[in-house]
Amino acid sequence: QVQLVQSGAEVKKPGASVKVSCKASGYTFTSYAMHWVRQAPGQRLEWMGWINAGNGNTKYSQKFQGRVTITRDTSASTAYMELSSLRSEDTAVYYCARAPPIVVVPADRSWFDPWGQGTLVTVSS
Amino acid sequence: EIVLTQSPGTLSLSPGERATLSCRASQSVSSSYLAWYQQKPGQAPRLLIYGASSRATGIPDRFSGSGSGTDFTLTISRLEPEDFAVYYCQQYGSSPSFGQGTKVEIK
């Protein structure tokens, strides 16, 4: 079955960077886009960006532009999200979430299904 | 950015009752690009509805979605014990955004 397995929890100091991985299985990785969404404590879900796993094209939320980089390794069926210049407000659970097939639904017009299990990133001095 | 406002914040109901959740958008959501998710504590969100009214694979038919433009509704016809959770709406007609959630709790 389709599965997205994320890397483990991270603790980072302010100003550092974090890179979270999302390993996909059970489907053809390059036929879909992967989105990243975060959920800070007590806050609503927040979309960060996506990558077309086939051609590597990306699109980022304006809020995170310049701080977030989403990449993929097709040989490992894995997507990555790197967030730099971390601050305490970046403490959150970070999720990867798959979009529908790119040939059916454009990556920037998509719902998310399934989601990874989430990765807690804590930013603290 | 389209802002989604969900109401009520909390819904206290008993198993077997009907739940009606609202999601209002600050501007029209094009082509009914609206989804609903269920989230339980410590778990990732699960897709219930996309395209405002299409049920995702494996979702029971007691879940239904409706609406267009700026007003959308998720209805759970008869609450089962496993339905008590937080529900989020999401629009994907422009840069994706989510509502703040509605918690459905046991009365």
Using alpha carbons only, what angle is made at residue B8 by residues B17 and A48, rounded to the nearest 5 degrees?
A: 115
Q: Which residue of B has its CA nearest to A62?
A: B95
Look at residue B49 in the predicted model and tell me its pLDDT. Answer: 98
CA distance B79 to chain A (A): 23
Look at residue B31 in the predicted model and tell me its pLDDT. Answer: 79
What is the average pLDDT across A17-24? 98
Instruction: Report yes or no: B11 and B84 within 8 Å, Cβ to Cβ.
Output: no
Chain A residues with CB under 8 Å of B46 CB are 113-115
- Reported as a pLDDT band with limits 50, 70 and 90, residue A113 is very high
Look at residue A102 in the predicted model and tell me its pLDDT. Answer: 87
Q: Taking 90 as the threshold, does the pLDDT of residue A7 lie above it?
A: yes
Residue of A37, A46, A60, A112 for testing the chain B interface, max B β-carbons within 10 Å: A112
Q: Taking 90 as the threshold, does the pLDDT of residue A104 lie above it?
A: no
Of A2-16, A99-113, B25-39, the range with the highest mean pLDDT is: A2-16
Chain A residues with CB under 8 Å of B96 CB are 35, 47
B70-82 pLDDT, tens digit each: 999 999 999 999 9
> Which residues of A lie inside 8 Å of B (Cβ-Cβ)?
35, 44-47, 61-62, 95, 97, 108-118
Q: Which segments of B11-102 does DSSP mark as H helices, in order?
A: none
Look at residue B26 in the predicted model and tell me its pLDDT. Answer: 97
The continuous run of DSSP H or E covering A63 comes out as none
The low-confidence residues of chain B, meaning pLDDT below 50, are: none
Dist CA A73 CA A107 (whole Å): 18
Q: Which of A115, A111, A120 is nearest to A18 (CA)?
A: A120
A45-76 pLDDT, tens digit each: 999 999 999 999 999 999 999 999 999 999 99
